[in-house]
Structure 1
Amino acid sequence: MTQHLANFKARPVACVTGATRGIGRDIALHLAAQGYDIAFGFRDEIHASNLQEELVALGAKVFCQPLNLFDAKSINSFFDSLNTAQFGLDLLVNNAGITKDNLLAMMSQEELEQVIHVNLIAPILCAQAALKIMLPQKQGCIINMSSISATKPNPGQTNYAASKAGIEGFTRALAVEVARKNIRVNCIAPGIIETDMVSDLLKGNEQQAKSKLLSKRLGKPRDISALVAYLASQQAEFISGEVFNVNGGMLLR
């Protein structure tokens, strides 16, 4: 797949990590429909090509480049490419995440380190690289993705819950640091959202999961992408350093 580079000046630019599947895909498509040009990294060329075609069909210009969130050099290279070409960057959505559930007593070091790296260290590195673009602009927005597991984890999620609780603390701390540069930082903590990954996990237990929700339905990716679009908009310019729970009322159960 050949990366597609274009002049992004006419429209705001959003970079979405983990954009080729699930919630990230819906975020990218929703933002494109809202008038954003989209930047995203990929590991799977087929998924990336399909997403690129859909984004272009929505009128978005697209920047895409291979990106390995386990590799700091790959992260820096991705954002350096945006910066060198002087595209600008208005919004970073740190959406990518992984799970490797296991009881802590039986968890391998690899399972621990991979989850902490992708879910916590990589978003910090992406934000650090994005700030090289946003700080000179004196404007920007960063939205991190947490999870209900940060406050209501299931057994076997010590690595995942720790990574997501960390991203919430990181959000608050970074919001304090960059406020004077007109950069806002917020966090979204989804509950049970209908994606391919969640569908596989919920096989045979969907009704039981719904019974824990005040909404009596599972979340949809658009429940998250709509909030991303709002938090990135001028209507939300008074909001920074916050964590928004989007879980159908599950925390009240």
Structure 2
Amino acid sequence: MKGLVIFGGNGLLGKRICEQAVLSGYKVTSLSRSGRPPLPTSKKHDDETWISKVNWEKADVLNPSTYEKFLLDKNVNDVVHSVGILLENSNYKSILNSKGGNNNPTTKTQSYDLINRKSAVLLADTFQQCLSKKKKDENETEDSGINPSFSYISADKAFPIIPEGYILSKRKAEEELLSKYSHNLRPIIMRPGFMFDETLLSTWDIRTSMNTVVSFLDTTNKGLFKGKLPTRPSISTQSVSKCLLSKIKDQSFQGIVPLEEISKF
């Protein structure tokens, strides 16, 4: 069975990448600091089925010794980096995904460059080394026809309230991945817009509310202002995941996947 390793597999997007990968027949390993995600509280959507098929493990993306063994699995030829920070306040995700948004932010910060760029480059470098080791150990002398992929979740563009450092760190990561690893990996750069989960549209939280605002502004811009304002549509995590898996399966594809392409799925 084909193996797929996803870093950040228990996040908003990571979960749906895991789900789509399971449905696509992959043996999926999710690596994150916390490991297994909590089971869904709602029984409306059958998340428990695919969650039980994922290998949930703990690892630190900045410490290769915690995850090298998973990359050395002979069936793993595809890796996804779905780790990142939108705001340098390390507590922003709990605020954004909360029901009331009353969490008190901590003063601890994380660097955009460290999380959004360096962690991706370090992971790609480690993956490349593991692929070379596997090829050497297996005494491969001929081309197997398999083109390993390294997928990076980037972003379409930054929102007005988001610091410039966010999108800058993403673009630097893209540039480095495409320039350094294209010769023996297939870098796949996904550029989604503001993301929401289709299964949560009937519930209320800050992210769902923000999605409503983003969608309204984009629709209004296209209708009244003929697209003259710099608005962009939101995108579901399900669409991003389906598009990503299609690019991973396509052995000839590498490069940037813009929001317009993702929106077709």
Whether these two folds match at TM > 0.5 is: yes
* Aligned positions of 1:77-156 closer than 5 A: 77-83=65-71, 86-100=73-87, 111=109, 113-135=110-132, 136-137=134-135, 139-149=147-157, 153-156=159-162
**Runs of 4+ deviating beyond 4 Å:** 48-53, 195-198, 247-250
Among 231, 237, 252, which residue is 2:251 paired with? 237
Q: Give the AA of the match of 1:77.
A: S
Which has more radius of gyration?
A: 2
The corresponding residue for 1:220 is 236
Q: Give the AA of the match of 1:243.
A: I
Change over 3 Å in CA distance of 1:20–1:201 after alignment to 2: same
* Aligned positions of 1:1-253 closer than 5 A: 11-45=1-35, 47=37, 54-55=49-50, 57=52, 60=53, 62-69=54-61, 72-73=62-63, 76-83=64-71, 86-100=73-87, 111=109, 113-135=110-132, 136-137=134-135, 139-149=147-157, 153-178=159-184, 183-195=185-197, 199=207, 202=210, 205-206=213-214, 207-212=216-221, 218-233=234-249, 236-240=250-254, 242-246=255-259
Instruction: Work out whether residues 16 and 38 of structure 1, in 8 Å CA contact, stay in contact via their aligned partners in 2.
Output: yes
Change over 3 Å in CA distance of 1:249–1:190 after alignment to 2: closer
Greater helix share, structure number: 1
Q: Give the AA of the match of 1:219.
A: I
Instruction: Work out whether residues 16 and 93 of structure 1, in 8 Å CA contact, stay in contact via their aligned partners in 2.
Output: yes
Once residues 221 and 37 of structure 1 are traced to their aligned partners in structure 2, the CA distance between those partners, rounded to angstroms, is: 20
Q: Give the AA of the match of 2:55.
A: F
Normalization by structure 1: what TM-score?
0.71
Secondary structure of the residue aligned to 1:90 is: strand
CA drift at 1:210: 4.2
Q: Give the AA of the match of 1:148.
A: D
| Ranges in structure 1 where 5+ consecutive residues have no aligned partner | 1-10, 103-108
Report percent identity of matched pairs. 12
Instruction: Work out whether residues 4 and 76 of structure 2, in 8 Å CA contact, stay in contact via their aligned partners in 1.
Output: yes
Per-residue CA shift, 1:174-221, capped at 9, x if unaligned?
34332xxxx31120100122148971671772412443578x963111
Change over 3 Å in CA distance of 1:83–1:247 after alignment to 2: closer
Coordinate RMSD, CA, aligned:
3.5
CA drift at 1:143: 1.0
Normalization by structure 2: what TM-score?
0.68
